[in-house]
Structure 1
Amino acid sequence: MTSNTSVAVEISPSLPAELRAQVDGEVDFDLGTRAAYAMDSSNYRQLPIGVVTPRTIDAAVAAIRVCSRRDVPVLSRGGGTSLAGQSTNVAVVIDWTRHCRRLVSVDAAARTCVVEPGIALDDLNRQLSGYGLMFGPKPSTHRSCTIGGMIGNNSCGATAQAYGKTVDNVRRLEVLTYDGERMWVGPTSDDEYAAIVAEGGRKAEIYTGLRRLRDSHLAQIRTRYPDIPRRVSGYNLDSLLPESGFDLARALVGSEGTLVTVLQAELDLVQVPTAKAMVVLGYPDIAAAGDAVEAIVKHRPWQLEGLDQVLLELETRAQLAGTALDELPQGSGWLMVQFAGDTQQEADDRARALMDDLAGREHAPQMTFLDDPAGEERLSELREAGLGATAHPIGGHENWEGWEDSAVPPERLGDYLRDLRRLLDDFGFDRNTTALYGHFGQGCVHTRIPFELRTADGVRHFRAFLEKASDLVISYGGSLSGEHGDGQARGELLTKMFGTEIVGLFTEVKGLLDPKNKMNPGKVVLANPLDRQLRLGPDYSHAEPATYFSYPRDEHRFSKAALRCVGIGNCRNSSSEDQVMCPSYMVTRQEEHSTRGRARLLFEMIRGESITDGWRSTEVRDALDLCFACKGCKSDCPVNVDMATYKAEFLAHHYEHRIRPMAHYSMGWLPLWAALAGRAPGLVNRVTHAPGLSGLIKKAGGIAPERELPAFAAEPFTRWWRNRTRTAGGGSRGPVLLWPDTFSNAFHPGVARAAVQVLEDAGFEVRVPREPVCCGLTWVSTGQLGVARRVLQRTLRVLRKEIRAGVPVIGLEPSCTAMFRADGPELLDGDEDMRRLSKQTRTLAELLTERAPDWEPPQIPVNALVQTHCHQHAVLGTDAETDVMRRAGIEAKTLPSGCCGLAGNFGFEAGHYAVSRAAGERVLLPRVRAADQRTVILADGFSCRTQIEQGDTGRTAVHLAELLAAGLEGNAWGGERPEQLMAERPSSTSGPTGGTSSEPAEERS
């Protein structure tokens, strides 16, 4: 049943050319693209032959026909989040996600829809929300998993408790065989079968062959398939039984692209629940929680999830738990039981009925009732964060999949959990990092295990455990896979579960539909051994590079940081409603321009097998080129991949002893140029904005010609501060050091002046550094890390007295503030003054909230649209700003826009304008244009304000400090923006003098 390893594939050099000639879409055989697709979320790695991104379904058909003529293997790929290795292969990858993602049609009355395979689940459900409908199954990767991928893997998720697996929600499929037969398939009546047979041809051959195979194995199909809710392993040949309607569509669900390519799908839909209520049950341990499942299932919950104490401890260490822990009752094992209803009363009544039932039983659990949507969502996210928390446990060995989703009859779950824990103990796996959790209502258990996959002994240990674990789950009448499919991880073990006769039948079905074994070969049947093609393995070897950053979360090793991504794919979210990452993917929808794709290339660079030139790699450089360095992934990625830091590190080495792009000298050294320009800002502005000369300056500086160069202020903040008349005595709340960042000093000094006014009104003694200082941000973002270190070290010397006295340092520009809080300590690892500075640095709002909670801000009853700076989102947080705005009476609405698109130097660099502008046009710029003229646009980041100003919005955004100062100036907000609000705000539209525009304030806003 097993083959040795993947068969080497001889590829004609003319294949890419023929594909380009025949296919409407992108055809990429370059090393960078291939490296981005070499892995999925599993332990496996196979470099593909090439990648085709078809623009239409017909284009995909054309691509497969070209591959068929040349006997080239094909892999149809969805979101690439598979955990069993089914999305990685030596094949031509068909990536549906960029273009083939339409909701083709909806029949609301019949509750059905037709979709293309590349549509992501969340995107589909957003489009269906207007009908009050949704696709029922919801895996934890719902942001990025595609319907095609869900069909391939027979995906489930928490809501399968109510709606079943994907197979239970598929009505018909349009499929293509490798040899070119394109057909719609579904349930087949005897009359329809007779008509197909009478028509003859390849379709008739497939149907008659399948019926023959079915009829010759009826007894085995009826008896060898476990009768449990979460049997995902194997082909769904039980769907071909007469009592199942000879449903070829459902038989193909879960076949992982090994039999056919899915072109379109007709899906059954369900009504979106109107109301939900949750009961959280606490038990002494996770096995006791498993024992309780049988009784709870009788109450027909919408979801029934389990999690143990180990998972919560790992999430707490990784700062993923948040406030959700407050909702949990006492215990060491928990069940989250959610009920849905047409009304809140119905949902609540069902939840309380469960509580009454359990309260009357012996050993009743501790119970918490929730009907607060926010609280329920926090707990659901707590469960969904499991993969992120367990993959890289802080202080422990990294954990791997392999036995990720076994399933047993729910009534036997408690005993299975005890035996599984004993087996883990027998193999010496750390209890403190090996969590047990999952979809307990259907007996499905998730875990990641600290396998040692770098040594021969470790790989043998890995195999031995899987052999024993498979014996264990089969002894319980369970399934090797209860959610993620077989792929390579479990394909080799299917004989244990089904027996040789049924597995032989799988092989015959494969031979009927794919006689050349070219559809995702080596997966499910004729499977590659489970311990081959590992992404690590005994031959994994690399030299550990010396780095500038210290990577404290990765044992101070860049190689471990490059291995951090586990492929969940949240960075491939096409909407930024709840996250900032990944703006370049949101615009381009290309894998290599996602955080995950870049992480894959960095891993390949470290591995040194496909990408052999290390830091000098042009493939890695090109993939990182469109990284905005927004740091959104630092907080939004479940495993906290920090691509902005990795990019800076790479650039530092890539350009070492080499000429850099001109933008690195112009934008990277901006603090120096700003300091020089501050001596004669009017003259500099006239030169940089002079017709003809401006274009030459931008070309020489590597700046996008479409961009307007920001104008320097007539008077930098630090000069104004030196010349300011100050009253004797200090504030009653003590001293603070206001940080004069380059942007608030040289371009928008009104922000810093406003901050002085607010701080003094709040009772602080404001100080400003006596010498020029800089955080080094622009040198970091351009990868000039040696310079950045020296700049930071000089700053620490200048500020040493205040730092060691514990004086708070107040940052106004979020990126500079985040530099002190995050990048600085990693760049100057071990420097005590840097560590102190990181802990003493505050935003204005944080200081006001923490040190002046009794300060009464001016009342400013206005509506405000808030654009959150990426670094604020990723590093600093916004709770304090939200609190200050609430106290000031500001009705603030935060835009779900993610990155503004300018992202510091990124949007100014030549070649980036189109992507930068497209990112802004996703949400931010249209929403600003549509805002009422009396709505204030708030943006604390200089980049965000500049993008808004240069984005044809006709609006000027302001800093929170400016809005608060304006309120103080007017004592009350009368509805018109005071002239003071826009003081010293030069722009490209304010003329070349560096002074303030003479336009009325309301028009300029």
Structure 2
Amino acid sequence: MKNASTLERRLRSNMTGDVLFDAFNRGRYATDASFYQILPLGVVVPRTMDEALRALAIARDEGRIVTPRGGGTSQCGQTVNNGIVVDFSKHLNRILSLDVENRICVVEPGIVLDDLNRQLKKHGLWFPVDVSTASRATIGGMAGNNSCGGRSLRYGTMRDNTLSMDAALADGTLLHFGEVPRDLARVNSPQSGLALFRDMLDLGEREATEISARFPKVQRRVGGYNLDALVPRNAPNNMAHLLVGSEGTLAFTTQVELKLWPVIRNKVLGVCHFGSFYEAMDAAQHLVKLRPIAVELVDRTMIALGREIAMFQPIIATAVRGDPDAVLVVEFAEEDQAENLHRLKQLGELMADLGFGWDRPQRKWGGVVEITEPGLQTGIADFRAAGLNVMMSMKQEGKPVSFVEDCAVPLPHLADYTERLNAIFAKHGTRGTMYAHASEGCLHVRPVLNLKLEKDVKAMRAIAEETFEMVREYKGSHSGEHGDGLVRSEFHEAMFGSRIVADFREVKRCFDPENMLNPGKIVDPPKMDDRSLFRYRPDYRVNELKTVLDWSAYPGAGGGFQGAVEMCNNNGACRKLEGGVMCPSYRATRNEKDVTRGRANTLRLAISGQLGPDALASDEMMETLKLCVSCKACRHECPTGVDMAKMKIEVLAARAAKHGLSLRDRLVGYLPRYADLASRFAPLANWRNSSPLLRALFEKFAGISAKRALPAFRRDVFRPEAETFGPADGREVVLFADTFNRAYERENLDAALRVLVEAGYRVHLPRPTDHTRPLCCGRTFLSAGLVDQARNELNRLVASYAPFAARGVPIVGLEPSCLLTLRDELLSLRSDDDAKSISTHALLFEEFLVREGEAGRLKLPLGAMPAKALVHGHCHQKSFGAFKPVEKVLRLVPDLSVEIIESSCCGMAGAFGYGADTYQASMEMAELSLLPAVRRADIATLIVADGTSCRHQIKDGTGRAPLHVARVLAMSLDSTQSNR
């Protein structure tokens, strides 16, 4: 550690970017999407490429190894090592040049594929190596793995689309790797570079016969070094193709020159159904004759799991008929849509010729479902891309494990290969999941194993050896897409022979004689089943945890809390920068600490004792979770269902139990208890907002930012004189008057009550059975970790609402975070029938109106409003699939044009945006898309937001006063009455 301290000091003095040597940050970089874990010595996040190269030089000088890292989603352990990890993804992510006419661009290695394609789209171009992790995979990482993507049948692999690379050798020499002639006399390169190129070309010439004999003749061959790029027949030889797939072991990439393609403008999908998995695999060789650009497999297991995931349910319901054993999604994407439709027709005819039809006894559809609607096509693509993570969503100790993940065999052998593979799994007491690229004989295959158990680790070893032997029998490749890393490098000698493996060592020695760059990958690897390198080592233990919430749906210690934490498989979907909501804090900071994956890894290390005693309640853990806004986006958008908002409650409760509450926690948590009292002294309670001195004191002693005005208390809080409103014979509904709308914005409750009454409903506003303070959902208590107090509030609410829920009366609320507490946290605190009944009947205002409208029961005399509404959705609405009803309800208003803001979290998130230490992050989240969209809106445009926090953030950031949907509908009713 003395040497590490010296290294850290040197790095800090030469960097403006982050230099991270503490245990918590090192732990967050110890894993990727594989089952391995290796704690790095330190992490560097350089701001410039010069800083990255300085880090390389300092590490070399200190005798430390270096591992470059992009999105950290490698499935074979490529990005973990015990030296210095250099993270390119935060800052080194620009397009350096773009030649639209010649379809070429040059990029920094940290640019994310989706971000690159967003910038290229306006020029009609894209980079088509469309890996399923496109929302977080970096170009540098894709080059390191020789990524392929689902459409490689047409576009080829990363190697096929890489024109050149600039990179530094381990000794710091900067070289350009591109096409070179066999005669290097005219190549402009340093002498050391020319000598390296000559050595490589000589090796290729010397070993041409052996390379031809031993390298598998399948496109999906990404194992080892690409020695076939060096043989004479490939002249001019492209030296960049030797770096592609080298997994950061040969050079330190500084920029990549890419070949671009025109964007796909038209496409159709045919979803082909099969009564048996074997039939689907056998059919693939015939379907490719129609020249699709992709043929993707979805098996029975993935279909079943997808039907349990809310975001995929409607997609599967439309695309999958009956109960098939497997479907193949065939994609045609010619420029002429008529040609695509013609091939789709041919597909149906071919399926009929192959003998696949409707099997009535088995109720299985063996035909083709035609998908021409773009939105549904996108949904299917998203489901297919999430395939790995859908498989990983199993709530059990055993999980699908990647090690024979992406073997590739020639298509005529695919059916026999998969049938024999299933037999191998069964022999070793397990089963496998399969999906992905049937068009090229490369399936993502994962046997279900529990790598905490020695017997399952032994089974993994046996399955690997038997599977790879079978792949060699079919003259296939044991690495078909995801590279070698720690998983498959060990098996190169069996695949390529000892002579080729010796050549691999020679290449490594020529490029990196000191073995400094990411050692242990491709050349001289450890055993793939060395448990000392596993995430779950033999000594991995989680002691029994006393949890405050119900985690019984998950396996493991702590009443299932361990299992919930371990659901994170590091797939990195939370690192996406656009689309959906997850993860708003990461989008603002780009720090691994502030992404759901980073938090989950920290929690796993903490509960297993790897971060020291009491780590769960430590200051470092609170720093890890500080920017988590509990938006619940991960609950909905994480493919494996990691629920960080719920986990944060556990941490806050542990923290409160050990260290007590801060003044800020008390002010926020106990708001429902003092809101009514404060309203009686509203001018005094609001004095803080008008006094700079009080603002400063609140910031110093309560941690509430002086830059924020707190919501203003009012004397005329919502206190209805009666408990029931509306016609006696109207359909019953309970209106939940939450604390925020009741104490601060009663106009919303007044509007909602009016709308419901005018629609003919009998509206109940039940008072608490204990006749004390108004009812509350306990949300503020949960945000402070005060779970017992939250439970008390919910108990009071259940006592008042249970009689109504028992007879089927809907419980309707306005504030998403409060109403949806009844659908979520309530069931984590109570599991009785009353709680379940209330949860079942809890609906947001718009959900209720849409349901009534679809049932033909909504009679609401809305008047015309010739205006535009710009709508921002609350995070919890989106998490629970409750945002679409907002748009549907607003479209009921005649002449009202509705536009949705594509936004993530507003950044206010309850009390988060008021914190002195979180104010800046709050504003950065809001500025990503929400506030700019509001500022662009015409002054006559209505700004609509259901969330109390959202409205306050928009008001603070733009000066515009947003409206709840209930108020918009009330305005529409006013329009009707004024026109009478």
Bin for the TM-score computed over the shorter chain: over 0.9
Kept in 2, the 8 Å contact 1:435–1:448? The answer is yes
**2:904 paired with 1:898:** yes
1:24-69 CA distance string (max 9 Å, x none): 4221111221111110000100111111111111111111011111
C-alpha change, 1:661 and 1:683, in structure 2 (3 Å) is closer
Structure 2 partner of 1:922 = 928
- Distance in 2 of aligned mates of 1:867 and 1:965: 19
Deviation, structure 1 residue 905: 0.9
**2:536 paired with 1:530:** no
Alignment of 1:382-393 (within 5 A): 382-393=383-394
Tell me the SS of whatever aligns to 2:264.
Answer: coil
**2:251 paired with 1:260:** yes
Structure 2 partner of 1:998 = none
Deviation, structure 1 residue 320: 5.0
1:605-626 CA distance string (max 9 Å, x none): 1221244433233322211011
Deviation, structure 1 residue 795: 2.4
Alignment of 1:19-38 (within 5 A): 19-38=11-30
Structure 2 partner of 1:542 = 542
Once structures 1 and 2 are overlaid, which stretch shifts more, 116-125 or 269-278? Answer: 269-278
The aligned amino acid for 1:810 is: V
The aligned amino acid for 1:581 is: M
Structure 2 partner of 1:241 = 231
The aligned amino acid for 2:742 is: N
Once structures 1 and 2 are overlaid, which stretch shifts more, 850-859 or 227-236? Answer: 850-859
Tell me the SS of whatever aligns to 1:275.
Answer: coil
Deviation, structure 1 residue 972: 6.8
**2:876 paired with 1:871:** yes
Kept in 1, the 8 Å contact 2:689–2:709? The answer is no
Structure 1 partner of 2:348 = 355
Deviation, structure 1 residue 790: 2.1
- Distance in 2 of aligned mates of 1:275 and 1:713: 57
**2:559 paired with 1:561:** no
Structure 1 stretches of 5 or more lacking a match? Answer: 1-8, 975-1005
Kept in 1, the 8 Å contact 2:397–2:450? The answer is no
Count of residues paired in the alignment? 954
Structure 1 partner of 2:299 = 308
Kept in 2, the 8 Å contact 1:571–1:595? The answer is yes
Kept in 2, the 8 Å contact 1:945–1:958? The answer is yes
**2:71 paired with 1:71:** no
Kept in 1, the 8 Å contact 2:126–2:262? The answer is yes
The aligned amino acid for 1:543 is: N
Structure 2 partner of 1:756 = 753
Kept in 2, the 8 Å contact 1:286–1:307? The answer is no
Kept in 1, the 8 Å contact 2:725–2:764? The answer is no
Tell me the SS of whatever aligns to 1:407.
Answer: coil
Deviation, structure 1 residue 426: 1.3
Alignment of 1:601-750 (within 5 A): 601-686=602-687, 688-717=689-718, 719=719, 721-722=720-721, 729-733=727-731, 735-750=732-747
1:131-169 CA distance string (max 9 Å, x none): 111111111110000000100111111121210110100
The aligned amino acid for 1:203 is: G
- Distance in 2 of aligned mates of 1:486 and 1:689: 63
- Distance in 2 of aligned mates of 1:705 and 1:79: 37
- Distance in 1 of aligned mates of 2:668 and 2:354: 69
1:684-722 CA distance string (max 9 Å, x none): 2245433423432444332111111111133111x2x12
Deviation, structure 1 residue 728: 7.8
Deviation, structure 1 residue 353: 3.1
Out of 333, 336, 339, the residue aligned to residue 326 of structure 2 is: 333
**2:108 paired with 1:107:** no
- Distance in 2 of aligned mates of 1:659 and 1:542: 25
C-alpha change, 1:117 and 1:274, in structure 2 (3 Å) is same
Tell me the SS of whatever aligns to 1:64.
Answer: helix
Structure 2 partner of 1:993 = none
Alignment of 1:415-434 (within 5 A): 415-430=416-431, 434=432
Aligned sequence identity (%): 36
**2:241 paired with 1:230:** no
**2:577 paired with 1:574:** yes
Deviation, structure 1 residue 246: 2.3
Alignment of 1:828-839 (within 5 A): 828=830, 830-839=831-840
Alignment of 1:366-515 (within 5 A): 366-394=367-395, 397-430=398-431, 434-515=432-513
- Distance in 2 of aligned mates of 1:794 and 1:329: 46
The aligned amino acid for 1:545 is: L
The aligned amino acid for 2:543 is: A
C-alpha change, 1:408 and 1:768, in structure 2 (3 Å) is same
C-alpha change, 1:335 and 1:660, in structure 2 (3 Å) is same
- Distance in 1 of aligned mates of 2:664 and 2:387: 41
1:410-459 CA distance string (max 9 Å, x none): 222111111111111111114xxx32111110111112322121122221
The aligned amino acid for 2:602 is: L
- Distance in 2 of aligned mates of 1:82 and 1:934: 50
1:945-1004 CA distance string (max 9 Å, x none): 0001111x2311000111111111221798xxxxxxxxxxxxxxxxxxxxxxxxxxxxxx
Kept in 2, the 8 Å contact 1:583–1:898? The answer is yes
Kept in 2, the 8 Å contact 1:902–1:947? The answer is yes
C-alpha change, 1:612 and 1:411, in structure 2 (3 Å) is farther
Q: Normalization by structure 1: what TM-score?
A: 0.92
- Distance in 2 of aligned mates of 1:712 and 1:781: 21
C-alpha change, 1:307 and 1:691, in structure 2 (3 Å) is closer
**2:211 paired with 1:218:** no
Structure 2 stretches of 5 or more lacking a match? Answer: 358-365, 769-773
C-alpha change, 1:844 and 1:860, in structure 2 (3 Å) is farther
Out of 187, 199, 206, the residue aligned to residue 209 of structure 1 is: 199
- Distance in 2 of aligned mates of 1:727 and 1:831: 30
1:858-883 CA distance string (max 9 Å, x none): 14443211110011111252232232
Once structures 1 and 2 are overlaid, which stretch shifts more, 233-242 or 548-557? Answer: 548-557
C-alpha change, 1:729 and 1:274, in structure 2 (3 Å) is closer
- Distance in 2 of aligned mates of 1:142 and 1:467: 31
- Distance in 2 of aligned mates of 1:589 and 1:607: 27
Structure 2 partner of 1:783 = 785
The aligned amino acid for 2:307 is: T
1:87-114 CA distance string (max 9 Å, x none): 1111211101110000111111111000
The aligned amino acid for 2:923 is: R
C-alpha change, 1:10 and 1:658, in structure 2 (3 Å) is closer
Alignment of 1:75-86 (within 5 A): 75-86=67-78
Deviation, structure 1 residue 544: 2.4
Kept in 1, the 8 Å contact 2:400–2:433? The answer is no
- Distance in 1 of aligned mates of 2:164 and 2:686: 65
- Distance in 2 of aligned mates of 1:811 and 1:359: 53
- Distance in 2 of aligned mates of 1:298 and 1:687: 74
Kept in 1, the 8 Å contact 2:272–2:328? The answer is yes
Kept in 2, the 8 Å contact 1:392–1:399? The answer is no
Alignment of 1:921-940 (within 5 A): 921-940=927-946
Structure 1 partner of 2:37 = 45
1:148-206 CA distance string (max 9 Å, x none): 01001111111212101101000000011111111111121134x2345x976321331
RMSD: 2.0
Deviation, structure 1 residue 311: 1.4
Kept in 2, the 8 Å contact 1:491–1:523? The answer is yes
Kept in 2, the 8 Å contact 1:113–1:266? The answer is yes
Out of 253, 273, 279, the residue aligned to residue 282 of structure 1 is: 273
Structure 1 partner of 2:771 = none
- Distance in 2 of aligned mates of 1:119 and 1:972: 56
Tell me the SS of whatever aligns to 1:144.
Answer: coil
Tell me the SS of whatever aligns to 1:898.
Answer: coil
